[in-house]
Amino acid sequence: MPEQGIASVLAALPLAAVLVAEDALILGANALASELLGRAIEGRHFMTALRQPEVIDAIEATLADHQPRTATYQQSDAGRDNSFAVSLGFIDIPPTRGVLVCFEDTSEKQQASQMRRDFVANVSHELRTPLTALMGFIETLQGPARRDDVAIDRFLGIMQSEAARMERLVRDLLSLSRVESEERVRVKEPVDLGRIIGSVLHTLRPLAGESGCEIVFDPPEGVLVPGNSDQLQQVFTNLIENAIKYGGKGNAITITLDAAAPETSLRVPAVIARVADQGPGIDPLHIPRLTERFYRVDTHRSREMGGTGLGLAIVKHIINRHRGRLRIQSVPGQGSEFAVILPRWSAPE
């Protein structure tokens, strides 16, 4: 096969691909392979471009016996590890003879698999802790504390608390599953965002009163977005409840609703709802991971507050369903702001 034909075949492949001749020199590489392995690799010995023993051994073996093989190739790029499934096959189209090496990026598949394993491990851990406590108290009540009324009352109170914690976790897991399954289903009905936030505040004012929090909210009228009222209520319940719980005693919370803010991230007219507190703030290190399942800045404090570690993950998926964005800004010692950016409602023509 002439060089021009080799280049055309490699360019047509959807994967990064190189062709290694029988003399161990690289006959050709497509653009994807050049991005992966570096420019100007044609004409070089394949060992100088592919420096990983598993791939080198596979190429040498296929050159020797002409049998197809698979291997794996690892690459680090800007601190991120990428994995590739490598498939090798012998090509015999005179005068071209050699090994075609293709690289399929499996990083996202492996990441998704790892996330599933982490999720199962986290759920197991979160359920095991209260279950272990419940089993311990049941064993105690069946034994030495059987006739101790004071101990019985105290243990039953703790058992009720642990059971409630499990109930919250199961409820949030079901909620997350439901929201994820609906994420691609677009919402089309208009809802009044100011009324939704007002309803949430009506429910949470007793909690704010107990914490000595002052909440300021003066919404404009008729701020409409396409949305699911129940899900948006869940979003703002989570954000405002977090601001109350983690902002500290005497914390001031300001909620603003801007229907005319210039916002380019959605590429459509947008509404921005901001929940800002004057609490201790969040270290910038944590901000990119706040919406991960079970991620907590302070694990012990979150559990004490009744958190499951799923709230912001649910918020993220609901906002995604509404084709919106969640923007988090925080300065340690000064407070945090959670901004929900949603498309503005426009009546169909």
DSSP 284-327: TTTGGGTTSTT--SSHHHHHHTT--S-HHHHHHHHHHHTT-EEE
pLDDT in tens, the chain (349 residues): 566 678 888 998 999 999 999 999 999 999 999 988 888 888 999 999 888 999 999 999 999 999 999 999 998 776 677 899 999 999 988 888 999 999 999 888 877 777 777 777 777 777 787 788 888 888 888 887 777 778 888 888 888 888 888 888 888 888 888 888 777 778 888 999 999 999 999 999 988 888 888 899 988 888 899 999 999 999 999 999 999 988 878 788 999 998 876 666 677 888 999 999 988 888 888 888 888 888 877 655 555 555 678 889 999 999 999 999 999 999 888 899 999 999 988 866 5
CATH class of 187-349: alpha beta
Q: How many CB atoms lie under 10 A from the CB of residue 338? A: 24
* Contact (Cβ atoms closer than 8 angstroms) between residue 222 and residue 198: no
Q: Is the peptide bond before 190 cis (omega within 30 degrees of 0)?
A: no
Q: Smallest Cα–Cα separation from 320: which of 336, 297, 343, 337?
A: 343
d(CA 249, CA 213): 7
* Contact (Cβ atoms closer than 8 angstroms) between residue 69 and residue 58: yes
CA separation (Å) from 41 to 27, 73, 309? 9, 17, 48
Task: Give the residue extent of every domain in the chain.
Answer: 3-105, 106-181, 187-349
Per residue in 93-139, pLDDT tens? 888 899 999 999 988 887 777 777 777 777 777 778 778 888 888 88
Q: How many CB atoms lie under 10 A from the CB of residue 194? A: 21
Homologous superfamily of the 3-105 domain (CATH): PAS domain (3.30.450.20)
d(CA 132, CA 130): 5
Output helix, strand, coil percentages for the chain, rounded to the nearest 5: 45, 25, 30
Determine phi and psi for 341, rounding to 5 degrees: -110, 120
Per residue in 237-272, pLDDT tens? 999 999 998 887 878 899 999 887 666 667 788 899
The reply to whether 3-105 and 106-181 are identical in fold is no
Architecture of the domain spanning 106-181: Orthogonal Bundle (1.10)
The C-alpha angle 64, 69, 73, rounded to 5 degrees, equals 110
d(CA 268, CA 280): 34
Average pLDDT score, the chain: 85
